[in-house]
Amino acid sequence: MGFFGQMFGGGSTRVDGAKARELVEAGAQLVDVRTPGEFAGGAIPGAKNIPVDQIGARTAELDSAKAVVVYCRSGGRSASAAGVLKASGFGEVYDLGPISAW
């Protein structure tokens, strides 16, 4: 387990694009953890932008009873955000990794 996994508890599940789309179609919340500038430059339709450095303070904007799929540009920030969400009591957290995996 990497540094962020140890720090934030890990426990998220890495998923590919097909599984992420299936989860979102079934009602999972899709969260883009990139910066607002990156988000404005193009995002997956329906995604909510909560930058990774704000995820811990903004968990109330998400429903902890519903699944969450997180993504970023290359996969590092989404892994960190997934760990924060798991440590904050979210039961089903899925890490798509990079937006390109969608």
Q: What CATH number does residue 29 fall under? A: 3.40.250.10
Active site residue 58: no
pTM of the model: 0.89
The whole domain housing 71 covers 7-101
Q: Is the pLDDT of residue 7 over 50?
A: no
Give the mean model confidence (pLDDT) for residues 43-64.
Answer: 97
User: What is the structure's pLDDT at 11?
Assistant: 62
d(C-alpha 31, C-alpha 66), whole Å: 12
Total of domains in the chain: 1
Identify the bridge partners of residue 24 per DSSP, sorted by sequence position: none
Q: Is the pLDDT of residue 6 over 80?
A: no
Q: Looking at 24, 72, 79, 93, which residue is catalytic?
A: 72
* 50 in any annotated domain: yes
Give the mean model confidence (pLDDT) for residues 41-59.
Answer: 97
Tokens of 28: 């999972």
d(C-alpha 92, C-alpha 12), whole Å: 7
* 26 in any annotated domain: yes
* 2 in any annotated domain: no
Q: Taking the CA atoms of the chain, what radius of gyration do you get in angstroms?
A: 12
d(C-alpha 61, C-alpha 99), whole Å: 21
* 70 in any annotated domain: yes
Report residue 12's pLDDT band, with 50, 70 and 90 as the boundaries: confident
